[in-house]
Amino acid sequence: MALVNGRIEQTHPTKSVCQLLTAVCTADKAIRVNEVTLPDTILAKWGQLATSLTRSFTFFTVPAPVAMPSLKSGRGLSSHEVRDLWRYAVDTDFHAVDTSIKTDEHFVSYGSEERFVAFDHPIDKSWFTYAMNSTGQWLAITDKNNVDVYDLLTGERMVLSGHTSEVGTIGFSPTDPNLLVSYSSGMYGSSRGDTENDDIIIWNMQEQQAAGKSRVNAPIDQAAKVGINAAIAHLGDSLKVSSDDSDLMQDALGKLIVQCDIRSRVPSTSRLKGRISTSFQSPLFSNSGDYLIYGPGGRPRSNGDDTWDLCLYNLVKRTTTTLSGHRDSIMWTGFSPNDEMVASAGWDGYFRVHDLTGREMWKWDTEKQNWAAVFSPDGKYLAGTDGAGMVRIWDLGTGEETAKFDNGPRWCRTIDWSPDGKYIIVGSENHGRLRLFATSDGKLEMFQERSLSTKNCDLESLDPNVRRMVGGFLGVHTAQFLPPSDNNEGDGLKMVHSVSMDEGIEVFDFDKGKKWRFVPPYDADGSVQMTKAGDGQTAVVGHIWMKEAREIGIIAADGIRFWRLE
């Protein structure tokens, strides 16, 4: 094996390598991991590896250094540069519904939290996905190929291993605190022809707790060494193998054994081939928790014409129903409050509504890429947003479009309906703009607006065209009304929101006129308005809401901090 012109050349002939790899799988002494015999598919994988080892291939590419565009040149602006430039400032802000109430602002940073649950295995990246179960006991976070589940009462961590590629999406059932789903290819998933790692795993937390206590780690390195040595001995003098090549084979076999071991930890009945997504505030489950919605197989082509089906998996009966119609990427899916309808928003220009049998009830063509939608709390209406900034409402009884508001010109990718049915919040992709609409009988009326300002950013030295770009990076990432506690006594109408590039999460109480802003540690000058992006360990990633305790949990890579909102 040699490095030639930046490429690694493998010199073994195909026939001899295939002999060696086949011998590994047919050695007299079977290799077993956790008492599970390696399946026949390992032989096929070895055949693929044998072929690849005889070819020239590049393990990695080291590109030449690329200079970032000058901020004074007007040629562009990166997200990293915007993070460095950004200083928090508000142009217009929300106020109480009762305008006689003066806004009470609370700027809160780390150290003032009422309790802190540290992650004993801090995440080594500044962004990950997370989910909390319905009782508020378990917080699940993605960590490469695993899911770490923390008991928020004890701080103990349980590791769920079953995926063989990076986990990108997770979610708990809204009704069963022991049911968690995870998906190993993130939001976008693999291509249609590469579905090997497109795994959805349905976890039972109680079973995983019991299995974790009884599991014994396998001596995988030793097993790989035994297998390779047995294969070499089996071939005798027909193949000469150097120590370096023996190590290479041991490493390759060890990785395959690890994959086999990991996959054996989850029964096939707990796996689905497909994709799940929480994009643009999409729920994974029906409100009853009986159905999981997912996309079957690998990811179809986007920005074209392809089959984008949805599947409803009945978790009780273990049956699947297909919802068809979309011909381009599906951005949002959701269930009606009574779980009798499923709505979807697609880039093919259509909003579609199906019933649970798969029958299409309604479809509306906006002639634009559609982004997000939400059902009214009474289930009578659907509100949606498109790529031209239009906000629409449709009557689900008649199919009539009852309202249309031009909220453009930028994308509007977040929308939510208040629990009392009186308001709709819409977030846009410019200056963190949020608009609160009053709604009644399917109509819309602009009520309030909140937008950020770049006045505290050091932009004077920038090209004017580049300067205007900064606000365009400040797209609304989250905009959700917080559900009230079950007794709903004095909770107030609260809404939580966050903006890309801004490191804060804000909550506003429209009844009491209270505003909370949660941020990482302050700059050296102590000014909240001058707070910059945090480092990977303290940057704000997201939030959870404990409705009965009226606590908000702010999540960072080092742990979760709780504050009570009164």
pLDDT of amino acid 564: 93
Work out the angle at residue 56's Cα, subtended by the Cα atoms of residues 4 and 14, and round it to the nearest 5 degrees. 125
Q: What average pLDDT does the structure give for the chain?
A: 80
The residues that bridge with 393 in the sheet, in sequence order, are 383, 403
Does the structure show a pLDDT above 60 at 483? yes
- The 8 Å CB, 24+ separation contacts for 25-28 are 26/234, 27/227, 27/230, 27/231, 27/234, 28/230, 28/234
Does the structure show a pLDDT above 60 at 546? yes
What are the residues whose beta carbons fall under 8 Å from the beta carbon of 219, sequence distance 6 or more?
A: none
pLDDT of amino acid 44: 41
Q: Which amino acid is at 91?
A: D
pLDDT of amino acid 548: 87
pLDDT of amino acid 490: 66
pLDDT of amino acid 523: 55
Q: Dihedrals φ, ψ of 508, to 5°?
A: -125, 135
Does the structure show a pLDDT above 80 at 341? yes
Closest to 137 (Cα-Cα) out of 152, 127, 120: 152
In this structure, the strands spanning 7-9 and 32-33 are unpaired
Does the structure show a pLDDT above 50 at 382? yes
pLDDT of amino acid 263: 61
What are the residues whose beta carbons fall under 8 Å from the beta carbon of 524, sequence distance 6 or more?
A: none
d(CA 544, CA 556): 12
Least-confidence region, from 21-30, 48-57, 260-269, 533-542: 48-57
Greater pLDDT, 123 or 308: 308
Q: Which amino acid is at 507?
A: V
Does the structure show a pLDDT above 50 at 214? no
Does the structure show a pLDDT above 70 at 338? yes
Does the structure show a pLDDT above 50 at 487? yes
Render pLDDT for 66-121 as a digit per residue (tens, 0 to 9).
333 444 444 567 887 888 788 889 999 999 999 999 999 999 888 899 999 888 87
Rg (CA), the chain: 27
Cα-based distances in Å from 446 to 263, 379, 391, 423, 437: 52, 22, 11, 10, 5
211-226 residues labelled b (16+ CB within 10 A) or e (exposed) = eeeeeeebebeebbbb
Does the structure show a pLDDT above 50 at 174? yes
Does the structure show a pLDDT above 50 at 191? no
Render pLDDT for 317-337 as a digit per residue (tens, 0 to 9).
999 999 999 999 999 999 999
Does the structure show a pLDDT above 90 at 420? yes
DSSP E strands in 47-118: the ranges are 90-92, 104-109, 115-118
Q: What is the largest CA-CA distance in the chain?
A: 93
Assigned token pair, 367: 């002639």
Per-residue confidence band for 464, with pLDDT thresholds at 50, 70 and 90: confident
Least-confidence region, from 23-32, 330-339, 470-479, 512-521: 23-32
Percentage above 70 pLDDT, the chain? 76
pLDDT of amino acid 274: 93
What are the residues whose beta carbons fall under 8 Å from the beta carbon of 509, sequence distance 6 or more?
A: 96, 492, 493, 494, 515, 565
Render pLDDT for 30-43 as a digit per residue (tens, 0 to 9).
333 333 344 444 43
pLDDT of amino acid 535: 46
What are the residues whose beta carbons fall under 8 Å from the beta carbon of 64, sequence distance 6 or more?
A: none
In this structure, the strands spanning 271-275 and 104-109 are unpaired
DSSP-assigned states of every residue in 431-480 = TT-EEEEEEETTEEEEEEEEEE--TTS--TTS-HHHHHHHHHT--EEEEE
Edge to edge, what strands does the sheet with 319-326 contain?
A: 169-172, 179-183, 199-204, 271-275, 291-296, 308-314, 319-326
Render pLDDT for 219-240 as a digit per residue (tens, 0 to 9).
666 777 787 788 888 877 777 7
Greater pLDDT, 8 or 127: 127
* 284, 181 Cβ separation under 8 angstroms: yes
Does the structure show a pLDDT above 80 at 488? no
Does the structure show a pLDDT above 70 at 278? yes
What are the residues whose beta carbons fall under 8 Å from the beta carbon of 457, sequence distance 6 or more?
A: 85, 86, 87, 89, 470
Least-confidence region, from 124-128, 166-170, 326-330, 557-561: 124-128
